[in-house]
Amino acid sequence: MWCLPMSADFDLVIVGSGFGGSLLAMIARRLGKSVVLLERGRHPRFAIGESSTPLSNLLLEELATRYDLPSLLPLCKWGPWQKACPQLACGLKRGFTFYHHRPGRPSERDDQLLVAASPHDAIADTHWYRADVDQYFVSEARKAGAEYLDEVRMESAREHEGGVRIEATRRGQPLTIDARFVVDATGPRGFLHRTFGLPEVSLPDFPRTQGLYSHFTGVARLDEMSPPTEPPPYPIDDAAVHHIFEGGWIWVLRFNNGITSAGVAAQSDLSEGALAWRRLLDRFPTIREQFADARPTMPFLHAPQLSFRSGVVAGRRWALLPSAAGFIDPLLSTGFPLTLLGVARLAEIVERDGEGLDAYARITEAELLATAGLIGALYTAMPNFPVFVALSMLYFAAASFSETARRLARPELATSFLLQNNPAFQMQTILQRTNSPTLADEIRRFIEPFNVAGLLDPRRRNWYPADAEDMLRAASKLGATRVDVAGVLARCGFQAAVQ
């Protein structure tokens, strides 16, 4: 194994080798930079944060194409992934499934929201079995020429005129690394946040939530427990399943290796681990039945406070990746797209030798706050499913509009997450009106200029298929023609007919 001398110089030090850190390392190598990737643990290892989305897959595809990283392209869709990388476990994600629950009552058809993300399996999204996927990303980073050191204990970081000096130890040996630039990819409350003593600041109006999660075997499929009486837009369980109840929600993500990831994010005390999990399941008959034969494959992990926001995002010679700058909640899988947008922006900053950090810090913070605003409102709405559904359409409208704009090669229409910097999509105006009796109508009007997916069409009774006709009809909202949109749908394997 390669070893660093006791002191070394690099253009870029990346601390943390989750997929975010490794991806940035690959890109920086393609840009001709010398890179070292420092990891405290050792791959393969468990990591949480598993479910991708159409936008996150597209962002990964854009980065892999732009920076010539062909080995990452298969990971952007279920079909190519199964063909090219069957050794990397993953799950099939055809959409977002929501079941609403009240204590003691089974969930029924009216308690469901199903939003398809893809029309068929081949181009579907995935859940990443992170032990496999992150190990693959690291090995690709090494192939690209990044130096990689695991089992590193970071001791200190000191900013100086020419860069940052990092002191660390590895297996008892001291290590000094000088870098022109440092990226912290160690996640919330991570390395630079602690080492530089950065303040943790609150997220306005966001509830205090805890997390509790594990991996399981033996989790039943909802569609087998209670077969749907009408054909759903996609198999209900081949999705990110969200069980919503007052004060929190449970996620269920199935992988193709017999393992299912599941956990809860809630405003209650979850510190008792397995006991708290059991107590929660016992309140909701449908969830209890789904987990009746389930067994955890590892001890539960408890996060006493899930959300996090660093008061500072970047300095002159360093930056936190969005995943280190903050985290809101697993709801709606916002972590991957935020991380990938951050990687894309930091790649350009690295290319320009550090120029643009102020703008990076501003947009990273603004996107985090926009995400917190929406998810905070969704928490408030959890007891009231129609309000929850209406609010969630803000996310689905922004995400599907952004994806389609980018696929049409019009990224300027969607330069920030949740269209945060688009003056016509200022969600706070709507989020202040969650008590309005006409909220769904107001949201329907609000999202209309961005609605490319037939959202809030009452005829669909909250079951939304991936329908090419919705997108073709919405072409003009994207400044495009039906033929342009049909071209995009054909290129991404959607199979649409132009009429």
Which of residues 378 and 456 has its CB atom nearest to ligand FAD in the complex?
378
Tokens of 4: 């660093």
Helices (H), 108-183: 130-143
Which of 27, 38, 182, 397 binds ligand FAD (CB under 6 A)? It is 38
Is 273 one of the binding residues for ligand FAD (CB under 6 A)? no
Which of 12, 20, 29, 37 touches ligand FAD (CB under 6 A)? 20
In the three-class reduction of DSSP (H, G, I as helix; E, B as strand; rest coil), residue 468 is classed as: helix
Helix axes 482-491, 385-407, angle to 10 degrees: 90
Binding mask 300-319 for ligand FAD (x = CB under 6 A): ------x-------------
C-alpha distances in Å from residue 64, one per residue of 30, 89, 119, 456:
11, 20, 23, 34
Calpha distance 397→101 (Å, rounded):
25
**Shortest reach from residue 5's CB to ligand FAD, in Å:** 20
Region 191-230 residues binding ligand FAD, contact defined as CB under 6 A:
191, 211, 213
> How many chain residues touch ligand FAD (CB under 6 A)?
35
| Least distance between ligand FAD and beta carbon 313 (Å) | 14
Question: Whole-number minimum distance, CB 365 to ligand FAD, in Å?
Answer: 16
CA gap 323, 183 in Å, rounded:
11
State which of positions 71-100 bind ligand FAD (CB under 6 A): none
Per DSSP, the three-state class of 498 is coil
Contact between 163 and ligand FAD per CB under 6 A: no
Q: Is 19 in the site for ligand FAD (CB under 6 A)?
A: yes
Judge contact between 234 and 123, C-beta under 8 A: no
Residues 137-156 close enough to bind ligand FAD by CB under 6 A: 152, 154
Q: Which of 374, 373, 404, 400 is nearest to 465 (CA)?
A: 400
Interacting positions 350-409 with ligand FAD (CB under 6 A)? none
Q: Return the residue of 107, 118, 339, 404 that touches ligand FAD, per CB under 6 A.
A: 339
Q: Is 16 in the site for ligand FAD (CB under 6 A)?
A: yes
| 3-class SS shares of the chain: helix, strand, coil, % to 5 | 40, 20, 35
Task: Locate 350 and state its tokens.
Answer: 């690295």
The binding track of 99-138 with respect to ligand FAD, each residue x by CB under 6 A or -, is: ----------------------------------------
Q: In angstroms, rounded to a whole number, what is the distance separating the alpha carbons of residues 130 and 88? A: 9
- Site residues for ligand FAD, 317-336, by CB under 6 A, read 321, 323, 327, 330, 333, 335-336
Q: Cα separation of 30 and 321, whole Å?
A: 19
DSSP helix/strand/coil, 158: strand
When the beta carbons of 11 and 125 are compared against ligand FAD, the nearer one is: 125
Which CB, 302 or 410, lies closer to ligand FAD? 302
Query: Which residue sits closest to ligand FAD, CB atoms considered?
Result: 49
- Residues ≥6 apart with Cβ < 8 Å to 476: none
Q: Which of 4, 13, 14, 15 binds ligand FAD (CB under 6 A)?
A: 15
Give the per-residue contact string, 41-60, with ligand FAD (x = CB under 6 A; - = no). Answer: x-----xxxxx---------
Instruction: Name the residue nearer to ligand FAD (CB basis): 49 or 376.
Output: 49
DSSP 203-233: PTTPPP-EEEEEEEE-PPPHHHHS--SS--S
Q: In whole angstroms, what is the distance from residue 376 CA to residue 338 CA?
A: 17
> Where do runs of H (alpha helix) occur along 335-452?
335-351, 357-381, 385-407, 428-431, 439-447
Minimum CB separation of residue 260 from ligand FAD in Å reads 13
User: 263 and 250 in contact (C-beta within 8 Å)?
Assistant: yes
**Do the bridges between strand 35-38 and strand 308-309 make them parallel or antiparallel, or are there none, so unpaired?**
unpaired
190 binds ligand FAD (CB under 6 A): yes
What is the closest distance, in whole angstroms, from the C-beta atom of residue 228 to ligand FAD in the complex?
24
Minimum distance from residue 402 beta carbon to ligand FAD (Å)? 15
Q: Which amino acid is at 209?
A: T
Q: How far is the CB of 81 from ligand FAD (least distance, A)?
A: 16
Whether the bond into 411 is cis, omega within 30 of 0: no
The residue among 306 and 341 lying less far from ligand FAD, judged by its C-beta, is 306
Answer for which of 10, 12, 13, 17 binds ligand FAD (CB under 6 A) is 17
> Contact residues for ligand FAD (CB under 6 A)?
15-21, 38-41, 47-51, 152, 154, 185-187, 190-191, 211, 213, 263, 306, 321, 323, 327, 330, 333, 335-336, 339
